[in-house]
């Protein structure tokens, strides 16, 4: 039995559409920055930690940034493969 009240419409936020080439370039850039962060020397990591240290947890934020870049690159690569193999 229905209550007589109309359903609230779902609002979908518009996304950003990239061409496959643009998405591939972005994925490569994310990979490159992640790789640099993972292999940077102690001074570079300390500089990044200092830059990200607004809450007093710069080292953790720097490690999290590298992880986040890697995860997003992996997701983007996966979506690209799926989009180009249909």
Closest CA to 28 of 77, 62, 67: 77
Is residue 1 domain-resident? Answer: no
Residue 76 has pLDDT above 90, yes or no: yes
Is residue 75 domain-resident? Answer: yes
Write out pLDDT tens, residues 13-60: 888 889 999 999 999 999 999 999 999 999 999 999 999 887 778 889
pLDDT at 1: 52
Tell me which DSSP letter residue 4 carries: S
Whether the model clears a pTM of 0.75, i.e. scores above it, the answer is no
Q: Which domain holds residue 29?
A: 20-84
Is residue 5 domain-resident? Answer: no
Tell me which DSSP letter residue 80 carries: H
Task: Give the count of domains, the chain.
Answer: 1
pLDDT at 25: 96
Closest CA to 62 of 83, 85, 40: 40
pLDDT at 8: 77
How far lies 21's CA from each of 5, 24, 32, 63, 69, in Å? 47, 5, 16, 29, 19
């Amino acid at each position: 039995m229905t209550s007589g009240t109309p359903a609230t419409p779902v609002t979908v936020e518009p996304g950003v559409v990239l061409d496959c080439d643009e998405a591939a370039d972005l994925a490569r850039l994310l990979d490159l920055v992640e790789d640099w962060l993972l292999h940077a020397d102690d001074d570079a990591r300390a500089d990044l930690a200092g830059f990200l240290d607004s809450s007093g947890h710069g080292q953790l934020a720097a490690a999290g940034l590298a992880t986040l870049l890697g995860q997003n690159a992996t997701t983007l690569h996966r979506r690209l493969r799926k989009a180009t193999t249909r």
